[in-house]
Structure 1
Amino acid sequence: MTELLVIDGIRAGYGEVEILRKVDLCVNKGELVALLGSNGAGKTTLNSVMSGLVRAWSGRIMFDGQDMTNIHYRQVVQSGLIQVPEGRKVFPNLNVRENLELGAFTRARTRRASNLDKVFDTFPRLRERQTQLAGTMSGGEQQMLAIGRGMMAEPKLLILDEPSLGLSPLLVEEMFTLIAKLRREGLAILLVEQNVGQSLEIADRAYVMENGSIRFSGTPTELLASDSLRQAYLGV
């Protein structure tokens, strides 16, 4: 398979505190890769480094054949590496359509109308609620809006940061079904999650991060065959 994102030996942190300890990770084109780990494992810091918000101390990030290490976050977005942040981060005082249109501000602005139609086809509920203020929507609807906003930028790779956070079990199931559908349509996805069980059901491969390092990696079948992984993360 063709490599899309390659993270090679990334070290990073805040002040003198090292958070990431030589992290290696790869996502191929058209692949759904899960990055799993508990709170404090370093997942958010890695997302911030990939997005140009935190500088790497050492190592390299390659995306679609280009060196993306420590470039400006605007260039990261322009390259097609798009992140849907934890907690959704919609603009509550703007309506659904306005939130979506902002997703195309830096990238794909000329194709905003056609991309809106694609998002509405994926999320019919958003089409019905175009004029509703984002802040009045349910958590599940806001998550759909956040993902739709990311899709407006025509991502080559979509990073989904804790998309199931705060959702009811029924909405979590719906969200994972949607993510699997996006992958079947050919979108490369890096799914950053604490929900190990459901992530492994839809992922092609997975990495498990602990204390700033990758502790396990492999296919879901390989990871589930590990007694230590099952005991530590699945409780079985």
Structure 2
Amino acid sequence: MNKKEILIELNQVCKTYYKNIAIQVLKGINLSIYDNEFLCIMGPSGSGKTTLLSLIGCLDKPTSGKIFVDKVDTTQLSDDSLALLRNKKFGFIFQNFNLIPYLDVLHNVWLPLWYTKTSVFSSEKEEKEYVVEIIKKVGLGHRIGHKPTELSGGEQQRVAIARALINKPKVLLADEPTGNLDTKTGSTIIELFHKLKQEDKITIVLVTHNPAIGKQTQRVVLLQDGEIVSDNSVSNS
């Protein structure tokens, strides 16, 4: 682990939300995330897991402290520059899938490319072939023309993973990706993450409250009351 390159680094990161009173959600977080690592952030409800994931993925900025992504200090970037970095480096996966109900699998996965200003593909045919390749990678080649309502929960999450992969991110950020799935289906999603890590050399950061899911990753960081209370490698990874 020590020989791997640090991809994301958080130094003394704090996050405070101001409503009627100041609520400090994260307190002095120091965390290094390595290239091609499968990291799990665990903790009870309200411990700051989702807030931490949002900061890692440049969806929000810390109140204080520094966050480096590929050695770039993201706290010094403008909102536009931060958005560009976020779209280039990160893919996001959520518990509720967030699929477009009237689009089939192909077009749900293809959707992010429609909003890309400059295409790397020479033709729409070439772009479509790439999208189909990603769908096959997550094991849904046989469901490509189906809409979300025609898919199981596990299949819908695979569509969401394919969509997150479409811009070739260096990091996948997954917030409770197995939360709406049964145990067996959830384990198959974790197996898919391991496959993507091995084949595509992607770094994966997963948030969960489920210790059984944490044991299937490489490293578990435990949050409690906005602070890291433990950071341990998983022995069977």
| TM-score normalised over the length of structure 1 | 0.84
SS at 1:202's partner residue?
A: coil
How far residue 58 of structure 1 moved from its aligned partner, in angstroms, is 0.4
Report matched runs for 1:31-70 at 5 Å: 31-69=37-75
Is 1:149 aligned to residue 152 of structure 2?
A: no
Give the Cα–Cα distance (whole angstroms) in 2 for the partners of residues 17 and 8 of structure 1. Answer: 20
How far residue 47 of structure 1 moved from its aligned partner, in angstroms, is 1.9
Counterpart of 1:22 in structure 2 is 28
Give structure 1 regions of 4+ aligned residues with deviation exceeding 4 angstroms.
none
Deviates more, 1:83-92 or 1:101-110: 101-110
Give the Cα–Cα distance (whole angstroms) in 2 for the partners of residues 128 and 20 of structure 1. Answer: 43
SS at 1:221's partner residue?
A: coil
Counterpart of 1:5 in structure 2 is 8
Counterpart of 2:213 in structure 1 is 198
Counterpart of 1:161 in structure 2 is 175
SS at 2:215's partner residue?
A: helix
How far residue 48 of structure 1 moved from its aligned partner, in angstroms, is 2.1
SS at 1:103's partner residue?
A: helix
Contact map agreement 2:54 2:60 (CA 8 A) in 1: yes
Give the Cα–Cα distance (whole angstroms) in 2 for the partners of residues 77 and 130 of structure 1. Answer: 27
Counterpart of 2:124 in structure 1 is none
How far residue 100 of structure 1 moved from its aligned partner, in angstroms, is 0.6
Counterpart of 1:95 in structure 2 is 104
SS at 1:208's partner residue?
A: strand
How far residue 123 of structure 1 moved from its aligned partner, in angstroms, is 2.2
Report matched runs for 1:221-236 at 5 Å: 221=235
How far residue 7 of structure 1 moved from its aligned partner, in angstroms, is 1.4
How far residue 181 of structure 1 moved from its aligned partner, in angstroms, is 1.3
How far residue 114 of structure 1 moved from its aligned partner, in angstroms, is 5.0
* Cα pair distance change 1:152/1:107, threshold 3 Å: farther
SS at 1:131's partner residue?
A: coil
Give the Cα–Cα distance (whole angstroms) in 2 for the partners of residues 107 and 46 of structure 1. Answer: 29
Give the Cα–Cα distance (whole angstroms) in 2 for the partners of residues 29 and 187 of structure 1. Answer: 8
Is 1:124 aligned to residue 139 of structure 2?
A: yes
Deviations 1:159-197 (A, max 9, x none): 111111110122012111111111222211111112222
Contact map agreement 2:6 2:35 (CA 8 A) in 1: yes
* Cα pair distance change 1:175/1:114, threshold 3 Å: same
Give the Cα–Cα distance (whole angstroms) in 1 for the partners of residues 34 and 102 of structure 2. Answer: 37
Give the Cα–Cα distance (whole angstroms) in 2 for the partners of residues 160 and 173 of structure 1. Answer: 14
Give the Cα–Cα distance (whole angstroms) in 1 for the partners of residues 187 and 26 of structure 2. Answer: 31
Unaligned 5+ runs, structure 1: 223-236
RMSD over aligned Cα atoms: 2.2
Give the Cα–Cα distance (whole angstroms) in 2 for the partners of residues 24 and 135 of structure 1. Answer: 42
Counterpart of 2:195 in structure 1 is 181
Give the Cα–Cα distance (whole angstroms) in 1 for the partners of residues 118 and 159 of structure 2. Answer: 18
